[in-house]
Chain A
Amino acid sequence: MCETCGCGHPDNNITFRRPSHPHTHPHVHESSDDSHSRVIKIERDILAANKQLAERNRGYFEAKNIKTLNLVSAPGSGKTTLLVKTIETLKRDINFCVIEGDQQTMNDSERISATGAEVIQINTGNGCHLDADMINKAVKKLNVPENSVLVIENVGNLVCPALFDLGEAYRVVIMSVTEGDDKPLKYPNMFHTSDICLINKTDLLPYVDFDIAKAKEYALKANHHLRFFEISAKTGEGMNEWFDWLRGLK
């Protein structure tokens, strides 16, 4: 993969980078009348490398009884706020580790770090999603203990992360009531590949035109197996059901 990926621990800011050549390179295609040309069948999945690595991650997580969640959403729907509240409430019951993915800044990992949970920040640079390779490297640096819950906060983006399995046990998609109830119609792939759907910022329902029943109906059309939690990460409303579900993962 081509993105520049800076990945570091909050304390020492280790960064690892990969080759990047994003400049344009126009070129002319010569037609090939060459009789030596051969057509070779390949039949390979384009994302095979990511899928294989994701399965390796998954096997590692299962062996160590690490329950892994991949949190995906549009930017700003409340992933980090939810995580901070969740860790603060459950940290006596559950050992949380966090991988934070953002294009830039350590802001989110600093917010998580303040709760006392172990966290590593992956800065993807221009990359719009995390991939299984980044998770593999991050987990090695983070040293996730057995019997813990590992939460991966993906880059805020409802399109690209849908394609990249990280090896998680559950994909959790968050939509907030300020985004419009037709999000599942606009970004069906993300809802199709998720297991849990959190509807956040319900405290703002009186001020916005967001029809929860409609949002759920749209999301269920993309995925019949979705399980919903309606929450306000700010006021705590509805969070107990979510906490119970997390406790049940142990």
Chain B
Amino acid sequence: MHELSITMNILNIVEENAIDLNAKTVHEIEIDIGELSGVDDDALQFAMQCTVKSELLNHALLVINKIPAKARCKTCNHEFDVSDYYAECPECHGFDNDIYQGKELKIKSITID
């Protein structure tokens, strides 16, 4: 359950920012989670519910943008969608590629009062 420590990291960063911004309440936390990040949405939402938060964060809704994974072939530069690390290039059938999108674990924005 690394989602619990991911949640604690999210709450720490959001709280820090919210305090800096003199927020009274955080309504929403928007995050990007890459398909290949190794983090499970449901487990994250569950961990979020199970964690006791300060008054500032107590009503915050977690909105997850799932980011699809994309690779660029190192041999022929072709860009294509992937769903795991074993992707074969549809153009040259090589396996050497860079996954340039889909590993995100990022806080995008917060909605505050």
List residues of chain A with CB under 8 Å of any chain B CB.
1-3, 21-27, 29-30, 32, 34, 36-50, 126-129, 131, 159-160, 162-164, 185, 188-189, 191-192, 221-224
Contacts and interface: CB of A to CB of B under 8 A. Distances in A.
Contact of A40 (B5, B59, B110): B110
A32 B4 CA distance: 27
A48 B13 CA distance: 9
18 contacts: A1-B8, A23-B50, A25-B49, A32-B25, A40-B21, A42-B17, A42-B107, A46-B6, A46-B107, A49-B13, A127-B5, A163-B37, A163-B38, A164-B2, A189-B36, A221-B85, A222-B85, A223-B85
B108 A41 contact: yes
Interface residues of B, number: 43
A131 B5 contact: yes
A36 B10 CA distance: 23
B2 A42 contact: no
B27 interface: yes
Given A26-B49, A34-B113, A189-B38, A46 B31 contact: yes
Given A2-B8, A24-B49, A24-B50, A47 B105 contact: yes
Given A44-B13, A44-B107, A45-B105, A2 B51 contact: yes
B56 interface: no
A23 to B, nearest CB: 7
A27 B51 CA distance: 11
Contacts, number: 122
A182 B50 CA distance: 33
Interface of B is mostly: mixed
A68 B2 CA distance: 23
Contacts of B2: 128-129, 159-160, 163-164
Nearest to A48: B13
B36 to A, nearest CB: 7
Contacts of B41: none
Contacts of A32: 25, 27, 111, 113
Contact of A50 (B1, B9, B10, B17): B9
A191 to B, nearest CB: 8
Nearest to B11: A2
B85 A43 contact: no
Interface in B68-109: 84-86, 95-96, 105-109
Interface of B: 1-2, 4-10, 12-14, 17, 21, 25, 27, 31, 36-39, 49-53, 58-59, 61, 84-86, 95-96, 105-113
Contact of B106 (A1, A46, A192, A221): A46
Which of B5, B9, B53 has the largest number of chain A CB atoms within 10 A? B5
B26 to A, nearest CB: 10
Contact of B113 (A36, A41, A222): A36
B4 A3 contact: yes
A188 B5 contact: no
Given A46-B107, A128-B1, A159-B2, A222 B112 contact: no
Nearest to B61: A29
A59 B24 CA distance: 40
Given A1-B8, A3-B5, 8 more contacts: A3-B4, A23-B52, A32-B113, A37-B113, A43-B107, A45-B105, A188-B84, A191-B85
